[in-house]
């Protein structure tokens, strides 16, 4: 790949985004007390000084949740990519930058934390809307740690809530055009048996050249043995599947 092709790829990945990508799904707990934090429109236009491509710079400060009705949770950068670059604020998203074009490579780590969690916290739900790069989005799933500890609490449930196609990429394995999706992923934790929770943090890593369009954290004082993660957007998933089938059929015809 020459420099011209690389720049065209970077610009297309960094600038192509449709309206609605930054919208999270409403979480309805239905009982007990609850609180919510959301990060929307976290980009270089609204937050200056958070680096530029390839993302080698540390962030000057955490970014507080800015959605309507949000509490005081923070989003911060934990680490960049081991091969250079890392997460920075692009014009439309949080971008995991890197000069290298290696599929499914670690692009850096971010953290959502709350030092004043909901009283009597029992359930956490975390949503992340992330755009793929060469067919991959998260390098590692969100890891919950409480009260400053190092032990990871495994999620009770997880699922893809929504999916939109956002262009294509040429597969290095097949040479064919494959779809690139923006995925909204949801995770639910039960923390009812972990005692008093004075703080918690959720770490997650994206692959290089992936993008984050929105985040949402919901807390409840009620325990749920079943999933309260919003049901998948069936229409969005069906459209994504239809687009994939169309591309696959066209690729087979061309071949």
Query: Which pLDDT tens digit goes with each residue over 12-34?
Result: 333 333 333 446 788 989 889 99
**48-62, 80-94, 164-178, 227-241: least confident range:** 227-241
Dihedrals phi, psi of 190, to nearest 5 degrees:
-100, 115
Residue 241 has pLDDT above 50, yes or no: no
Instruction: Tell me which residue range forms the domain holding 54.
Output: 3-254
How does the average pLDDT of the chain come out, rounded?
A: 84
Query: Which pLDDT tens digit goes with each residue over 71-121?
Result: 999 999 999 999 999 999 999 999 999 999 999 999 999 999 999 999 999
Contacts of 193 (CB under 8 A, 6+ apart): none
pLDDT at 248: 34
Residue 40 has pLDDT above 60, yes or no: yes
Q: Give the C-alpha separation, 5 to 15, whole Å.
A: 15
State the total domains in the chain: 1
- What percent of the chain has a predicted confidence (pLDDT) above 90? 71
Query: Model pTM?
Result: 0.82
């Amino acid at each position: 790949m020459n420099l011209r092709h690389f720049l065209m790829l970077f610009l297309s990945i960094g600038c192509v985004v449709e309206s609605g990508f930054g919208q999270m799904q409403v979480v309805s707990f239905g009982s007990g007390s609850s609180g919510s934090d959301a990060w929307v429109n976290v980009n270089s236009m609204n937050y200056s000084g958070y680096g530029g491509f390839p993302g080698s710079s540390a962030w000057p400060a955490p970014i507080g949740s800015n959605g309507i009705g949000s509490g005081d949770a923070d989003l911060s950068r934990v680490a960049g990519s081991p091969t250079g670059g890392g997460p920075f604020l692009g014009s439309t998203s949080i971008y995991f930058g890197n000069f290298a074009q290696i599929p499914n490579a670690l692009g850096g780590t971010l953290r959502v934390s709350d030092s004043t969690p909901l009283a009597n916290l029992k359930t956490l739900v975390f949503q992340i809307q992330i755009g793929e790069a060469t067919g991959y989005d998260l390098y590692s799933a969100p890891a919950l740690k409480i009260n400053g500890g190092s032990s990871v609490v495994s999620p009770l449930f997880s699922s893809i809530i929504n999916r939109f196609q956002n262009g294509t990429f040429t597969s290095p394995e097949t040479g064919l055009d494959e779809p690139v999706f923006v995925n909204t992923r949801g995770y639910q934790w039960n923390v009812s048996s972990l005692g008093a929770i004075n703080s918690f943090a959720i770490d997650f890593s994206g692959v290089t050249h992936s993008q984050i369009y929105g985040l949402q954290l919901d807390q409840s004082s009620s325990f749920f043995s079943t999933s309260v993660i919003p049901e998948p957007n069936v229409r969005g998933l069906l459209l994504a599947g239809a687009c994939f089938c169309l591309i696959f059929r066209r690729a087979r015809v061309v071949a």
